[in-house]
Amino acid sequence: MYNILIAKYGEIGVKGKNRYIFENKLIRNIRNMLKSIGEFNVYKEYGRIYIDVNDSNYKVAVEEVRKVFGVVGVCPAIKREKDYDMLKETALMLLREKISMGAKTFKIASKRGDKSFKFTSQEMSIDIGGYVLSNINNKDVSVDVRNPDVTITCEYRNEHILVYADSISGFGGLPLGTNGKAMTLLSGGIDSPVASWLVAKRGVDIEAVHFHSYPFTNERSQEKVRELAKILSKYCGPIKLHMVNILEIQKSIANNCNEEETTILSRRFMMRIAEEIGVKRYCDALITGESIGQVASQTMQGITCTNAAVSIPVFRPLIAMDKIDIIKTAENIGTYETSIIPEVDCCSLFSPKKPVTKPRLERIEKSESKLDVDKLIKSAIDASVMEVISYE
């Protein structure tokens, strides 16, 4: 029955003269998302984005298209040659399908794309509604314009007709690649993949840096992060993942600084390293999964101390989110099950028994003065490895 999908967008529609840039980027991103399931014709007509499908592939195509950032909804539709009688017959056919699935009330919503047509949109709705009601032959079915079980949308456009009833919600946002690039600090936990996804949803390309303490942590923890990056790449495209060993930095902190400051000091090193790699990779910001008060290093004072270590902006999209809301998003995007696999990470390895919760920047900087910061950072970056992670 269905032979076309309508990909609806939101914010793109108010982009003025730059709208075509966002539309073209969205079309490319939809094509890339659909590559894993086959070749699809994706195109734009009169400010609409369409995807040609058939009965055998439209359901799986809908699931893929709705994941593309910038798409707010996907409508499976029936496209036919421009003929008003055909429009009425198609509306009747689709309504019969919905009645067989339990619908008892309906509404016809019409759109007259061809302004030369004799009926207005409202007159079309009345005419088509009368036609389908008189041909249903089912006394249990009635019109309800306020709260119908199903709304059949009928469009009489310049080149063709369209009929559809369902709209499957998309993730929204803006097309990936329209708002610069950022470096995300990707751990194996629940938070950082969600933070990365949320920023990417606003059209930001992402690269990732992961910190590990091999051989004190095993290779399974690195594989876990690779799997998370792979899941994210389904939405974000291939991700360049920078693997950085900070074991020597952690040892140096443990040997020279106060135990209670270990987490904050380590965090400041991570931020500096992420910034240096990010700047070289043309990133304009960092992304972290921090949320106020979630752990000892994420108090207001702790975040202030880590912020002071870098000069580029730090995006924290989870900053005011409750853990339960973060978990719901992780489940929705498919990262949760991987994130909860138990593995020792570099943060827990040298975690102090009583971490400082209200660190003062001057004291943290005084502790850092005992370390050869530049040398430790350079050694870690020089030994880092970059991998390209793709969803296959």
For 31-85, the pLDDT digits (tens) are 999 998 999 999 998 778 999 999 999 999 999 999 999 999 999 999 999 999 9
pLDDT at 350: 65
Per DSSP bridges, beta strands 71-81 and 42-45 are unpaired
| Residues 161 and 198 grouped into a single domain | no
- CATH code (residue 72): 3.30.2130.30
pLDDT at 185: 98
β-pair partners for 109: 153
Single pTM value for the model: 0.90
Res. 226 pLDDT band, cuts 50 70 90:
very high
210 is in an annotated binding site: yes
Is residue 286 within 8 Å of residue 278, measured between CB atoms?
Answer: yes
Rg (alpha carbons) of the chain, rounded to whole number: 27
289 is in an annotated binding site: yes
| Residues 275 and 353 grouped into a single domain | yes
Residue 365 CA, distance from chain mean position: 37
Would you tell me how many other CB atoms lie within 10 Å of the CB of residue 138?
12
Three-state SS for 265? helix
96 is in an annotated binding site: no
Per DSSP bridges, beta strands 181-185 and 205-212 are parallel
Is residue 152 within 8 Å of residue 108, measured between CB atoms?
Answer: yes
Q: Average model confidence (pLDDT) for the chain?
A: 93
pLDDT at 294: 84
Supply the range of the domain harboring residue 263: 181-389
211 is in an annotated binding site: yes
The residue out of 169, 192, 213 marking a domain boundary is: 169
Buried b / exposed e over 86-120, threshold 16 CB at 10 Å, is ebbbbbbebbbebbeeebebbbbbbebbeeebeee
371 is in an annotated binding site: no
Would you tell me how many other CB atoms lie within 10 Å of the CB of residue 189?
21
pLDDT at 271: 97
The domain tally of the chain equals 2
| Residues 93 and 190 grouped into a single domain | no
- Residue 362 is which amino acid? E
pLDDT in tens, 195-206: 999 999 999 999
Q: Which residue has the tokens 């998370």?
A: 228
- CATH code (residue 209): 3.40.50.620
